[in-house]
Structures are given as C-alpha cells and as structure tokens.
Structure 1
C-alpha cells in the first residue's frame, strides 16, 4: 500500500504534527509526503530526511502559498491516482483538507484514528474517548486523520527520500486568503509542550487566571491551557482550549488547576503521562484520572507552589 501524507509547515520548518502521521502511515505501507506552498524547497529537503520516507511530492504555486484547503485538495486528489491512502494530522488544517479530498474521491473519511490494525482497519475513540471503535473501510481509496498523541513521532533524521515536483494547478478561485491573526507566545505550543499548566472556571476571572497560571507556567517552561468553561467565560483565548472540542494533548506532565474534569476536557488530556490536579472539591471527576491530587484552595496552593519552584 502506498500512503500520501500531507506535510504541515510554516514555510520554513516541518511542524511536529506531521511526524505522528508519518508513523501511522508507515504502519500502513510505503510512505510518500506531499509538500505544498510557495518557495518550499527547504521544507521539502527537511521532509525528505524524515525516517521512513520514500518520496516527497512538491507542489509549488503562488495559489498554494497559504495552503488553503480549496487549493491543496485538487493537488492531493491527482496524486491519489497512484496512492492508496491519504493521511493527514488531526489538526485544524488537516481536518479542513481531508474532508474535501474524501468528497472529491467519493469515499468515506475515517477520523481521528488511534491505531492501525491492518491495511484498511483502524481504531478510533467515540463517546468522548469512553469507547474505542474498530472501523474498516471498503473504499478503494482511504482517507484518514491521525490523532497525534496516539503515535510516536517519526525521527526527523535518517531518511533519504527523493524529491519530485508535481502539478500544482487546480485552485477553483472560490476562496482567497485575506489575513491571518496569529497568536505569538514565547511559551511552547500546546500540542508539542512537554509540560502544560491548565486553568479552569474556578479561577474566577481573566485577571486571576493569568495572575496565577502564567507565573507557574513560566517557571516550569510550560505551555498554558484552559478548560472549555474558562474559555467560554472569557478567562483565556480560544487557542488555549484543551479538550474534545479544543486541542488534544499528551504532555509529560499536565497540571489541571481548578478544573472539575468534564468528560469533554478529559478526552483531550487523559493520555498525559502524569496528571496533577488541584481542586477544592474532593469529589471532582478530575481526581479519577489524576496521578497526583491535591485537595485545597488553589488561590493559596498555586502561589505557594510557584514561589517554591526554582527559576
């Protein structure tokens, strides 16, 4: 089986989200990559070095500069004539592109897979992760999105893939890039952070959220996350949200502060290696998945913890 993996990048480097998708694709068969954009030679060279990659298809065009799904999908569909599976990371970009490719191929999309059981058989979580479904596709072509926390990241060195330029035409012109509002932070991005400090609605306000969570995260060199309730209340921006409707994370350490542990939040972080929970409610659901639980007033505990940490 030949797989085609969409490479996410920022115009200069390959994003970490691509690497678990490569691992998943390698379990299905031969791995080819698709790099789209404008002036992406450096990205293609970096992609060719990823372990296990056989070929890198490069589609360069001004219309692909911002990698709009409407422009990328036709390129992927043409390449699928010689590939059996299209694999994308389960990210905002991936979830935008994959359905369009599946629709153009007239096949079913398999979303958020967590394991590869065979050429056309996979597992995926349902009911917010409370059950795991085994699904099989009978379509001639397979389109899957990959949950990055379920697969190891492929090594960024050791590969020797060949680079091939492909046809970059096909943009319908129905969508155009207007602007991008990018959140810039010196902290690690949530999906790649080794430590995450998340705050919940119990923090009470945006001011208290940042006054307590930010100093602790800075001392730990951690990313900052939030529950959906905290985001909905305006305590934190939307890109902080962890959960089934936010970002799926699996850091080495996850600190849940003032988070009760609603099922949709647990679905986004329960694969973390170590979960530390701080909550005044000893019956909070978060304690059922926590490795370390501290029952108490977060407004006293968090400042004390921050003060005692070195750095």
Structure 2
C-alpha cells in the first residue's frame, strides 16, 4: 500500500502539531457546541478510547444496541480536530480505497454534525487553550483523562510507529528525549496535564480522572463519572459496561480496536497493545529512568497533581 510520506512536526501557536490536526482549524475554532455536548479530552495515549467507549455504553447501549456491532467507535465518538483520509466502507477494498481517496479528506467536525445521538460525545486531544470557545460559552461538560508520563511515552512511541498520520518516531531513546522536550504531536505532556488541571479549579463542569485509578478500581471510578454526568445506571447495566470495556474484550472488538482504520498498520503494533500500568519498566533503562525522574521533578511543580507510575 503506497501512502503519502509521514507528516512533519511544526510549531503551531506554541504547540507542536501536524497538518492532520490543523488543516481544518477555522471550522474547529468556529465549531458550535451544544449545551449537552460532552468533550472527552486527554493527552494522546491516556486511555481516551477506553473512556469514550464507557460513555457511549452508559448513554446509548440500551437505546441502540446495534451500534456496538456495526458502527465503529470513532464514528460514535468523533475526533473533533481530525482531518484525515476517509475510512473504507465495509464492502470496499481497503487498500484500493485508501490509495484512491487519500486526498478526499474526512473532517471530525463533519462527523460530529452528522451525529443523531444526544448528548453528542466528542473526543479531542487539544490543549485547553485550543478548545473552541463555544464549549466554554455553552458550559459543556468535559471529561479529562490523565495517565502517568512514563506509560504515556511508551504507549505513544508504539502508536507513532504504526500510525501513518504521525511523524516518523525514530528510535526509542530519541523519542523519549523528544517527549521530555515537548516535541510531540499535541505538544508537551507536562503543559497539557497541568493546564487542564488548572482549568478544573475554575470550571466546575470538568471531571479530571486518572488512568491508574480506573485500572485499580473500575467500579469506584465509574460511579464518580456517573455522579458527575448525572447518570444512574443499575448494577446490571454497570456490570455490562465493565465487561464490554475490559481490555481483552476491547482488543478483540473490531468496532473499538481501530482495526478498520487503514492508516494504522496493526502489523507494526496493535492500536490496543497492553493496557497495563507500569509497562514502562520494560522500556526504560536505569539511566533513562533516573534522567526522566530528574526532569519530571523540575517540570511538575504543582504538589496537588500527582501521578502514580505503578499500582
């Protein structure tokens, strides 16, 4: 399959980005949010898909059970800032479709406009300062998912290896250094998690949750999320959600595991790889870990925002 060369990272209003997340910028910034919209935000590879699937099931599994079987999650919870090639339809040859239609761009804003469900569930990785102003004006609800930086960088590294709309990743040690310097798509992990945490202090409709907490006690974190959203699922409904979003089940679910997205090469690395806390220990050398810890202490000044690298 011949695909265009990988995009180049560039500075976009102080944040490293690639064209696939900035080409539709005017429409993104002029996006008209609705009061009941829910924006699920995170730095990349923080459990976004996990939480998107949770919310989709909590809201719509009883109303439209067939959606889980026939509609990919990235269409049920569209990616606000994406501007990428269209995904092939089920009856199309995927290789032929991608090669012929690469220049026919599919925009996240268009997918959101096509949603028939309410509330609209929307995914984003935008830093807080890039979020369209209408979301704040409409007092929309936000669910922010944060993951410890060591597992984030490992997951991001493997994601970059297999994702055609991200820059070439190079070797692990180079990627790790780039991560510490904020030379990543969507910018610095440190700035991302800190700025959303600061926003939480002044904006009450923002629920800030941690990947590690969700991994450690799924039931407790689901209850907290439901309380924030004003949902009251039964014990049976919560159990159905828990079973459906277990990592091994999602990894096998073609509607959730991104296997229908042809710009991702799952032979290089699966989109859903391990889903574990502390996998970073299989990648960091002792010296890399010491260097990272020193850098982390310098950049993470807020004592209230704490991350666990193991549970």
| Larger RCO (alpha carbons 8 Å, 6+ apart) | 2
Question: Shared fold by TM > 0.5?
Answer: no
Q: TM-score, normalised by structure 2?
A: 0.30
The higher radius of gyration belongs to 1
Higher helix share: 2
Q: TM-score, normalised by structure 1?
A: 0.30
